[in-house]
Amino acid sequence: MRIVPLSCGEIAASPPRPGAASGNFRRNAPGVKPKGWLYPVVLSFLVATQLLLPKAAQAQERPYFVTYSQDMEEPGNLELETFNVAGNPRGGNAFIGSDIEAEYGMKTWWTTEFYLDGQATANDSAIFTGFRWENRFRPWLGEHHVNPVLYAEFEDTSADKTLREVVGHDGAPDFLDPNGVSRLDKEREMELKLILGSDVRGWNFSENFITEKNLQSGEPWEFGYAVGVSRPLQLAANAHECVLCREKFAAGAEIYGGLGTSDGFGTRRTSHYAGPTMNWTAPNGMTIGMSPQFGLNNYSVPFLFRFSVSYEIQEVFAHFHK
């Protein structure tokens, strides 16, 4: 990868390279503060965690990337995750959006999660795009036919390309501005979700209803949805440990998109995506997920490839007490 010094003016003047699939990530642009240190540090942390804290859970993760299920983090457990999405919008530059997440089970009915987001865009720059803090609450104890979870998130981001949710009129045009321009648009937002999840004969059905509000501007409430279905390839555990057996895989599909705003609810000028999803849990507890996802209309990025790595540490604070 060639690192090219670039001024902010040059970024704004540089036309995006149509159809660019790869290219130089210009990291040193003044006004576009690179945070290249962030990912090596967090990656080192993940590796160190693997080496130092071998007692990990076999996570039984749902293979969703956008959809939330009713599952909560077990109390005292810490899950470290990275979610990534690569895309190539028409008339724009290829990008990778990434986040690093730390999810902690406060109570059986309360899970809290902190995210750091970043993105790299071909022919542009690699930047830190902000943070998010979410909390999920399960109001009904016990298991029901439909299990509701209430979700509240605060985010402070700009030029975000992680696509962790699609709301309002989010769409491919959002990806055409250079980072130097789009990061000027600060988004301090509150996001609320109603998550509904059901388990039926090993199948999980999850539906999310999303609303988001920019707290700084007079913009209207934005709406979106996400729906997922998944199932482990084998429900019963094997008598002996295995690596590539069906027990270690879960597969499914998800669909998500925007539903307009409080000024105009509906699907006009909204983007929608769908695709199959799959994950695999390694014997040491690390879960690796992937999903090719397809834009369902011309307002969407035509193709997204998502991948994730997660690792759960049981009773994380107990390790420090030893």
Partner 1 sequence: MSTTLFATSNGAWLAKVPAREHERNNPYRDQPDAVLAGQRVFHDHCAHCHGEDAEGIKKHPSLRSARVQQQATDGDLHWLLTNGSMGSGMPSWAKLGDPQIWQVITYLKSLHPDQVAR
**Overall residue count recorded for the chain in this entry:** 322
CB–CB of 125/4 below 8 Å? no
Interface segment toward partner 1; rule CB under 8 A; list 33-41, 58-66, 96-104, 262-270: 58-66
* Nearest-5° Cα angle at 175, 171 to 179: 145
Using the minimum distance from each CB to partner 1, give the nearer residue, 45 or 203. Answer: 203
Among 24, 28, 58, 135, binds partner 1 (CB under 8 A): 58
CB of 234 to partner 1, least distance (A): 9
Strands (E) in 183-221, as ranges, are 187-200, 203-214
For the chain, the 3-state helix, strand and coil shares in percent, each to the nearest 5, are 10, 45, 45
CA dist., res. 128 & res. 120, Å (int) = 9
CA dist., res. 36 & res. 26, Å (int) = 11
CB of 217 to partner 1, least distance (A): 39
Using the minimum distance from each CB to partner 1, give the nearer residue, 44 or 60. Answer: 60
Residue among 188, 191, 80 at smallest CA distance from 134: 191
Among 40, 52, 218, 240, binds partner 1 (CB under 8 A): 240
Interface map 188-207 toward partner 1 (x if CB under 8 A)? -----------x--x-x---
Using the minimum distance from each CB to partner 1, give the nearer residue, 82 or 281. Answer: 281
Query: Of residues 59-118, which lie at the interface with partner 1 (CB under 8 A)?
Result: 60, 62, 69, 71-72, 74-75, 105, 107-109
Residue among 39, 52, 169 at smallest CA distance from 97: 39
Interface segment toward partner 1; rule CB under 8 A; list 17-25, 156-164, 229-237, 255-263: 229-237
Among 40, 143, 145, 321, binds partner 1 (CB under 8 A): 143
Q: Does 318 bind partner 1 (CB under 8 A)?
A: yes
Residue among 9, 320, 322, 300 at smallest CA distance from 163: 300
Q: Does 322 bind partner 1 (CB under 8 A)?
A: no
CA dist., res. 275 & res. 252, Å (int) = 9
Among 91, 215, 241, 245, binds partner 1 (CB under 8 A): 241
Report the SS3 class of residue 38.
Answer: helix
CB of 122 to partner 1, least distance (A): 39
CB of 227 to partner 1, least distance (A): 18
